[in-house]
A and B are shown apart, each in its own frame.
Chain A
Amino acid sequence: MVANTQLLLSIEDLAVSFDGFRAVDGINLYLNEGELRVIIGPNGAGKTALLDLVCGKTRATEGSILFRDKQLRGMTENQIVHAGVGRKFQAPSIYESLSVFENLELTYPKGRNVIGSLFFRRTAEVEERIQATADMVGLGDRLEDLAGLLSHGQKQWLEIAMLLIQDPQLLMLDEPVAGMSQAERQQTAELLNRISQDRSVLIIEHDMKFVEQIASKVTVLDQGKVLAEGNIDRVKNDERVIERYLGH
């Protein structure tokens, strides 16, 4: 497949500093179309900061973020979303006072400006798409419930489903299985494997067992820099990675 070898995201010399502290310090990272990449590293390595930079939550001080041919640096959050980047936060961030259905409907990629939203109508196509996506994450029979009533794991899945409706080419997930039970982790791993068939996925994760379940290639960050990158088995045996992160 030709498409799979094409570059989707190229991050070059990316850096951000907060009052002199460089949380991300010259990172280079390249992601292919259809690739699933896991970012690991100790706390404070700059993993979340990196995702924040890509999705526009924080502004980079240096470097470039090319997505396809578009420079994401300088674009607003919603422009980056429109370009095809989706971001899931670490804590489940869903709309607790809306129903599951309405949560999903709100991310449906139509009528996202003010005028469009005033005239947005719930068509059969919208409903089908929502039903199908909810089925995929196992929330198909909970559509009418308030999202605030879901369990922690279900909230995480709901947020992933919301991103899927958005249909991004690049999906970024920040510790999606934190706080999940073993069974839920298993289900999430399967879900991620399925999702990554149609798009590129960038995941931050701490749980090495989970990482091995989903990833072929990992990037290790430390102190705002790339410490190592490559095949999971190779990285696991890298001296520096063991010293800085995995431990002996």
Chain B
Amino acid sequence: MTTILRLLGGRSEWLICLGVFAALLLVVLPLAFNGYFLNLLGRYLALAFVAIGLVMCWGYGGMLSLGQGVFFGLGGYAMAMFLKLEASTPEATAKQSTPGIPDFMDWNQLTALPWWWEPFNSFSFTLAALLLIPAAVAYVFGYALFKRRVSGVYFAIVTLSLAAAMSILIVGQQGYTGGANGITDFQTLLGWDITTDSARYVIYYICVFLLLVCIVLGQWILSSRAGRVLIAVRDEENRVRFSGYSVEDFKIFVFMVAAVFSAIGGAMFALQARFISPSQVGIGLSVELVVLCAVGGRFSLLGAAFGALLIKTAEMYLSDLFPQLWTILFGLILLVVVLAFPKGLAGLYELARDYALDHFGSNQSHAALEEHADKRSLHGREEGFLVRAKRILGGIR
């Protein structure tokens, strides 16, 4: 017991947590759930990509983007376009007035594939596009916004408007995008049937693997000097500027990383849900993703990823049982998190760990705890609740 606690208080804590999370995703869940449910969990994990992007962009960078759905959608649509083209062979669509183009185009009286759909016939182009297009979009908007020093609530409003604009655009351009129904009805990826149970497992594992890669990459960035620059910008933006950093470059960079992560998530969503639609782009999802991140812990990559999975799984069970109550419960959870636990589930974990160290730990782990107290306070200014919660927990004893 003491040994475990000592490890938890030490420097390798993050690696242990990552290991536990990886074991949960790679071993426990596949054993506990069948292919159908695993596929649902995989969709929720696709949202976790966005949540970890938000930890970097919002938790560390202080830029609350309410338009991450735009990037999720770009990734998702890129993937869906490729899959849809694969499904729309002239043979498969022989009944259409123009065979060989996606069905919704035919319904909308299009007689040829639009030129910008053509390159999505190539899988390698699609993969490149789903990483590069979101990065480029994030760069352009990041550059325009951050160089003009647009920040805080204004950034939130502008990104929110972007999400609104993009979903309205997609709905409006039915012939080119599938409209409100989105892009649906595709079964194969490079000839491989993705509807089978075994394919579901394989895709789930790919999704988990990519998520873990993104988490490790994100943690590497956050624990480098760049991560400390982001914290410093939150504390004293001017000091960072006058220490010779181009603050905008760092903001643009982290916004781009978040965009690319979101796009990977979007692609994994399209692959597992086998559809993509404007509701994966718009305001609703964009804000929900921020909520998932907040509940999981806006300063913790693992917390945010876990939070996304947990909340969406809870929703899956509870919204069936109590469809009306779930929305209210969801709102209440968010209120409680914002008011009392700004660090979300990750903060609760820290409380529990510190409590355990306090009461069962040896003197050595006390030292480790203290080291942690220092480290923890790097992650934000909301120290008040920790002190409060500690007092409450102490009172229970």
Contacts and interface: CB of A to CB of B under 8 A. Distances in A.
B231 A114 contact: no
B326 interface: no
B243 A106 contact: yes
A31 interface: no
Contact of A97 (B221, B231, B241, B247): B231
Given A77-B242, A146-B377, A95 B221 contact: no
Contact of B221 (A76, A86, A113, A118): A118
Nearest to B233: A95
Interface string A77-108: 11001100011010001111111001001110
Interface of B: 220-221, 224-226, 228-229, 231-232, 234-236, 238-247, 249-250, 253, 374, 377-381
Interface in A159-173: 159, 162, 166
A113 B224 CA distance: 12
Given A93-B239, A118-B221, A146-B374, A98 B244 contact: no
Contacts of A44: none
A95 B232 contact: yes
B243 A114 contact: no
Most chain B beta-carbon contacts within 10 A, residue among A55, A97, A162: A97
Contacts of B247: 78
B226 A118 contact: yes
A212 interface: no
Nearest to A110: B225
B142 to A, nearest CB: 12
A112 B234 CA distance: 17
Contacts of A86: 242
A120 interface: yes
Given A57-B238, A109-B244, A118 B378 contact: no
A111 interface: yes
Closest CB pairs A-B (n = 4): A81-B244, A120-B225, A117-B225, A95-B235
B378 A97 contact: yes
Interface of A: 55, 57, 76-78, 81-82, 86-87, 89, 93-99, 102, 105-107, 109, 111-114, 117-120, 144, 146, 159, 162, 166
Contacts of A118: 220-221, 224-226
A78 B250 contact: no
A144 B244 contact: no
A113 B250 CA distance: 8
Contact of A106 (B225, B234, B253, B378): B225
Contacts of B235: 94-98
Contacts of B243: 81, 106-107, 112, 162, 166
Given A114-B249, A166-B243, A166-B244, A95 B231 contact: yes
Most chain A beta-carbon contacts within 10 A, residue among B239, B245, B378: B239
A120 B250 CA distance: 14
B378 A98 contact: yes
A118 B378 CA distance: 18
Contact of B246 (A76, A107, A109): A76
B246 A78 contact: yes
B253 to A, nearest CB: 5
A55 B242 contact: yes
Given A93-B239, A95-B231, A97-B231, A112 B378 contact: no
Nearest to B244: A81
A207 B39 CA distance: 71
A117 B378 contact: no
Contacts of B220: 118
Contacts of B249: 113-114
Nearest to B147: A76
16 contacts: A57-B238, A81-B242, A81-B243, A94-B239, A95-B236, A98-B378, A106-B229, A106-B232, A111-B225, A113-B249, A114-B226, A118-B225, A119-B224, A146-B374, A146-B377, A159-B239
A121 to B, nearest CB: 9
Contacts of B381: 96-97
A78 B241 contact: yes
A14 B182 CA distance: 59
Contacts of B245: 78, 112
A169 to B, nearest CB: 13
